[in-house]
Structure 1
Amino acid sequence: MFDKLESMEKRYEQLSEWLCNPDISGNPTKLRTYAKEQSDLEETVTTYRLYREAERQLEETKAMLSEKLDDEMREMVKQEVDEVSRRLEEYGNRLQVLLLPKDPNDDKNVFLEVRAAAGGEEAALFAGDLLRMYTRYAEANGWKTELIDASYTDIGGFRDATLSILGKGAYSKLKYESGAHRVQRVPTTESGGRIHTSTATVAVLPEVEDVQVEVHEKDLRIDTFCSTGPGGQSVNTTQSAVRITHLPTGLVVSCQDEKSQLKNRDKAMRVLRARLFEKYQAEQQEEQAAARKSQVGTGDRSERIRTYNFPQSRVTDHRIGLTLHRLDAVLAGDLDEIVQHLIVADQTERLSEAMEA
């Protein structure tokens, strides 16, 4: 591990020198490439330097115990040894996590798809709640959101919706949201006060580059139609909305967000590439039997991952056994605590696998 860390530190220092070189700073392509590589290494190198400094401090502090000290000073030195030892262990654990193979999609933008499942109109309303929750979470992280496509119900819910989220690290935090979400509450249409259970599914897809998924024009059927808004409002009188069908796979993507047919086609193609990438990746993992089942689940859309219980103001993530009693805050976009627990669970599982390998 330490040989690798030494190598990473040398590379970091080399990149720092290059970025100060006028020839590099005058070349936008090289400057961007080297700056990104240095940024990717920065946290690991900084933590490694803190680890070495803690090692040095521990050695010096332990050496003091061999000197003649009065009882009060000896006790102070022992406390310092304990504190530095704790920091050293903390840095060591952090380095193990930082050296885990990074998901190549972590820094990518995402397409987040929400679909109403079991529960009729109540499921459609819940899908709308989830869409707002993710929109607010994205805003809290400084990410840009854009509604690509949506199918509305008469009472303000969504049959399905596709949200584009643009921001560094969006996929790294949202990738754990794929799966079935369940809500337990009394619908506004329920006169008897009975609690109903409804579900909505979420899929989080990393946005992929053109080169990652090859799409041939001959494999596409492109239809245009007039776009519609909530409850039939904001009807576009021109056929600017676009529906693209990928004939070999049967995947269908539509976009009606823009007034321009060309822009809608471009956005629909971005979503199609993301869906194809997910499909091909899943098939490859299945063939290689490499789909890892961890504490945070497989990410399969049919897997129930979380329950939102309104009578108890409770949110439970079933993959890690986490329960929070602040439903309103979570639905308002405060997902940080849940996301952090999921990240830690994933890292713990991967560390365990790495040690067993």
Structure 2
Amino acid sequence: MKIKKYEIFIKKLEIYKNEFLKISKSIIQPNILSDKKKYKFLIEKYNELEKIFLLYNEFKKKIDFLKEADFIIKNDSDKEIIKFAITEKINLVKKLECIKNKLCEKIKYKKIKKDNYRNVILEIRSGTGGDEACLFVEDILRMYIMYFKKVNWGYKIINYQQGTKGYKEVIIDVYSKNKKHEIYGNLKFESGVHRVQRIPKTESQGRLHTSAITIAVLPKVENIEISINPVDIKKYTFRSSGAGGQHVNKTESAVRLVHLPSNIKVECQEERSQHKNFEKAMMVLKSKIYNNEIEKRLKDISTKRKSLILTGDRSVKIRTYNYHNNRVTDHRIHKSIHNLNEFMNGNIQEMINALRIEENKLKFL
């Protein structure tokens, strides 16, 4: 049974072996060598996959040795040789289990580690609470912008929808040219429901009001990483509802895209050019499709570890901002910071660091 189990596992690894061999051939092709961006991307993948490939080969050799030992135990008549083969089999099983664990860890966290250094698309949407939720979207947007300035990240608003007060939705491109910056690695914990408890300015009787917004942090992907079949996309154009004077009323520059297989919808109306809006909408669409894969991966890990930190579930209430008590609480790690004013001024790194520490603990459980 052990041999069959290992053979099933090695078959699953063949996808990584084939990918490694394919990249090995690609990186020596003239068209790849002349494209610096593509070459750099493929070399990084090559280096990651090489470690898995080497362990794969070692694992496969050990399986062959195990088969030989098993054959001797079943068919040889010499008791001394059988005894030696049994000892060898026990040692091989230990080594195979060790290599298997190493491979599982490398495969599991290969993508997660790389994703940490990605730029992100940050979506902030109002939820329950009407105008108060829209105003909180505006407050959270300000909080993140102040944080981006502190850590020296760039940002650009891709799309927004204004409410009667504040914003119904804001989508931001967050980026850094310095690849040492773990933008996704820091911001990924922000995905989820953020609840606010405060007395609205419009509340004449001073009653505490609870409203909520949702935040999604999507890792940004390069065009060479993910391809979408054009027939799977339905494109709609419409007149922009944002600022823009006469141009808004006369041309259908805004773009809405629907990815038919997943039913993911995105839209962009910030640019005056329909072509530019289409490019930005495609960027968000690719990030959303890629993020779906990440969420599946994280949910699989979190199910095994019973952890909310790694779920990637945007329906989970993760944080409460209580203005009355000047307190912000993250419910996943039960941590409270009793200086909400500073937190809303962009000083959120303490909370992020606490979440990262907890995530690192979970990796070794």
Q: TM-score, normalised by structure 1?
A: 0.67
Deviations 1:135-194 (A, max 9, x none): 221122111111111111122x11122111012321010000011100000111111100
**Aligned match of 2:69:** none
Whether the 8 Å contact between 1:178 and 1:204 is mirrored in structure 2 is yes
Q: CA deviation at 1:33?
A: 7.2
Deviations 1:228-287 (A, max 9, x none): 327x97862422211111122221111112222111111100100111112234346667
CA distance in 2, matches of 1:222, 1:292: 41
Whether the 8 Å contact between 1:240 and 1:264 is mirrored in structure 2 is yes
Q: Does 1:316 align with 2:329?
A: yes
Q: Which one-letter code corresponds to 2:119 in the other structure?
A: N
Distance 1:289 1:183, change over 3 A: closer
Distance 1:244 1:292, change over 3 A: farther
Deviations 1:294-322 (A, max 9, x none): 36352311111111011111111111111
CA distance in 2, matches of 1:161, 1:28: 34
Q: CA deviation at 1:200?
A: 0.4
Q: Does 1:344 align with 2:353?
A: no
Distance 1:182 1:334, change over 3 A: same
| Local SS of the residue matching 1:127 | helix
CA distance in 2, matches of 1:288, 1:306: 22
Consecutive unaligned residues in structure 2, runs of 5 or more: 1-33, 49-108
User: Greater CA deviation, 218-227 or 103-112?
Assistant: 218-227
CA distance in 2, matches of 1:136, 1:151: 21
**Aligned match of 1:135:** 145
Q: Which one-letter code corresponds to 1:104 in the other structure?
A: K
| Local SS of the residue matching 2:156 | strand
Whether the 8 Å contact between 1:295 and 1:345 is mirrored in structure 2 is no
| Local SS of the residue matching 1:190 | coil
CA distance in 2, matches of 1:115, 1:325: 25
Distance 1:192 1:288, change over 3 A: closer
Q: CA deviation at 1:109?
A: 0.5
Q: What value does the CA root-mean-square deviation take over the aligned residues?
A: 3.0
**Aligned match of 1:122:** 132
**Aligned match of 2:255:** 242
Among residues 197, 201, 206, which one is paired with 2:219 in the alignment?
A: 206
Q: CA deviation at 1:291?
A: 6.8
CA distance in 2, matches of 1:212, 1:29: 12
CA distance in 1, matches of 2:232, 2:304: 29
Distance 1:141 1:123, change over 3 A: same
| Local SS of the residue matching 1:210 | coil
CA distance in 1, matches of 2:256, 2:350: 38
Whether the 8 Å contact between 2:220 and 2:283 is mirrored in structure 1 is yes
Q: Which one-letter code corresponds to 1:251 in the other structure?
A: I
User: Greater CA deviation, 310-319 or 127-136?
Assistant: 127-136
CA distance in 2, matches of 1:265, 1:158: 22
Distance 1:348 1:295, change over 3 A: farther
| Local SS of the residue matching 1:183 | strand
Aligned length: 264
Among residues 118, 122, 131, which one is paired with 1:112 in the alignment?
A: 122
Over the matched positions of the two proteins, sequence identity in percent amounts to 38
**Aligned match of 2:175:** 166
Q: TM-score, normalised by structure 2?
A: 0.65
CA distance in 1, matches of 2:149, 2:225: 28
**Aligned match of 2:161:** 151
Q: CA deviation at 1:133?
A: 1.3
| Local SS of the residue matching 1:103 | helix
Whether the 8 Å contact between 2:128 and 2:212 is mirrored in structure 1 is yes
**Aligned match of 2:65:** none
User: Greater CA deviation, 216-225 or 281-290?
Assistant: 281-290
Q: Which one-letter code corresponds to 1:200 in the other structure?
A: I
Q: Which one-letter code corresponds to 1:158 in the other structure?
A: Y
CA distance in 2, matches of 1:287, 1:137: 31
CA distance in 1, matches of 2:182, 2:271: 26
Q: CA deviation at 1:36?
A: 7.9
Q: CA deviation at 1:32?
A: 5.9
Q: CA deviation at 1:214?
A: 2.5
CA distance in 1, matches of 2:310, 2:268: 31
Distance 1:34 1:105, change over 3 A: closer
Whether the 8 Å contact between 1:123 and 1:198 is mirrored in structure 2 is yes
CA distance in 2, matches of 1:296, 1:288: 10
Whether the 8 Å contact between 1:294 and 1:346 is mirrored in structure 2 is no
Among residues 344, 347, 357, which one is paired with 1:331 in the alignment?
A: 344
Consecutive unaligned residues in structure 1, runs of 5 or more: 1-25, 41-99
